[in-house]
A and B are shown apart, each in its own frame.
Chain A
Amino acid sequence: MREFIVTTLNGLTLGGLYFLVATGFTLVFGLMRIVNLAHGSLYLSGAYLGWSIGNATGNWLLAVIGAALCVAAAGLLLQQGLLRRIQGQDLREALVTIGVSIVVADLLLAFYGGQNYEIAAPDIISGGTYLGIAGLTYPTIRLLTLGIALLVGIALWFLLRHTRLGMIIRAGIDDRAMVSAAGINVQLVFAIVFALGALLAGLAGVIGATNLSVQPGDDSLYLLYSLTVVIIGGMGSVGGAAIGALLVGLVQQYGLAYIPTYSVLITFAMMILVLAIRPQGIAGRRA
Chain B
Amino acid sequence: MKHSNTRIVRQVDWFRSLMLFMGMIALLTACGGGAPTSGGGLNTGSNGSSANEIKIGVLATFTGAFAVDGQDALRGVKMAVAEFGGKIGNKKIVLVTESSDATPAVARDAARKLIEQDNVDILVGPLSGDEGLAVRDYAKTKPNKVFLNGSSGAQDTTLRNPAPNFYRFSTDGTQWMAGLGDYVYQTQGYKRVAVLAEDYSFPYSQVGGFMTEFCRDGGHVVKKFWVPIGTTDYSSVVSSMPTNIDAIYVALGGSDSINFLKQYVQFGGKAKIIGGTVTVDQTVLSTKGTLYQHVLGVASSGPIADNNPDPAWQKFVQQYKSMFPDGFPSPSLFAHAYYVNAKAALLGLQKVNGDLSNGEAKLKQVLSTLQFDTPTGPVRLDHNRNAIANIFVTVVDKKPDGTLYNKLVKVVTNVNQTLGIPEDQYLKMGPFSRDNPSCP
Chain A residues within 8 Å of B, Cβ to Cβ: 2-3, 6-7, 10-11, 13-14, 51, 55, 109, 113-120, 126-128, 137-142, 212-213, 215-217, 221, 252-254, 256-257, 260-261, 263-264
Contacts and interface: CB of A to CB of B under 8 A. Distances in A.
Contact of B258 (A109, A116, A141, A142): A116
Contacts of A109: 63-64, 67
Interface stretch (B2-10, B40-48, B283-291, B403-411): B283-291
A260 B199 CA distance: 10
A261 B226 contact: yes
Give 3 closest A-B pairs by Cβ, nearest first.
A139-B266, A114-B67, A6-B239
Interface in B240-290: 240, 254-255, 258-259, 262-263, 266-268, 283-284, 286-290
A25 to B, nearest CB: 19
A263 to B, nearest CB: 7
Interface of B: 63-69, 199, 225-228, 230-237, 239-240, 254-255, 258-259, 262-263, 266-268, 283-284, 286-291
A127 B266 contact: yes
B287 A118 contact: yes
A261 B228 contact: yes
A55 B267 contact: no
Contacts of B64: 109, 114, 216-217
A256 B239 contact: no
A116 B235 contact: no
A254 B237 CA distance: 10
Given A114-B65, A137-B268, A55 B236 contact: no
A115 B259 contact: no
B290 A10 contact: no
A253 B228 contact: no
Contacts of B289: 117-120, 213
B17 to A, nearest CB: 21
A126 to B, nearest CB: 7
Contact of B228 (A114, A212, A213, A264): A264
B227 A256 contact: yes
A115 B262 contact: no
B235 A142 contact: yes
A256 B237 contact: yes
Contacts of A260: 199, 225-228, 237
Contacts of B266: 126-128, 139-142
A13 B267 CA distance: 13
B403 to A, nearest CB: 15
Contacts of B67: 109, 113-114
Contacts of A2: 239
B23 to A, nearest CB: 27
A215 B254 contact: yes
Given A7-B236, A212-B263, A253-B236, A51 B288 contact: yes
5 contacts: A10-B239, A14-B233, A114-B66, A216-B65, A257-B240
A221 B230 contact: yes
A213 B255 CA distance: 7
Nearest to A113: B68
Contact of A115 (B235, B268, B283): B283
Query: For A2, A127, A256, which residue has the most chain B Cβ atoms within 10 angstroms?
Result: A256
Given A14-B235, A139-B267, A261-B226, A120 B290 contact: yes
A122 to B, nearest CB: 11
A256 B291 contact: no
A137 B112 CA distance: 54
Contacts of B286: 115
Nearest to B67: A114
B259 A212 contact: yes
Contacts of B69: 114
A160 B315 CA distance: 66
Nearest to B243: A2
A128 to B, nearest CB: 5
Contacts of B227: 256, 260
B397 to A, nearest CB: 21
B232 A212 contact: yes
B233 A253 contact: yes
Contacts of B199: 260-261
A116 B225 contact: no
B143 to A, nearest CB: 35
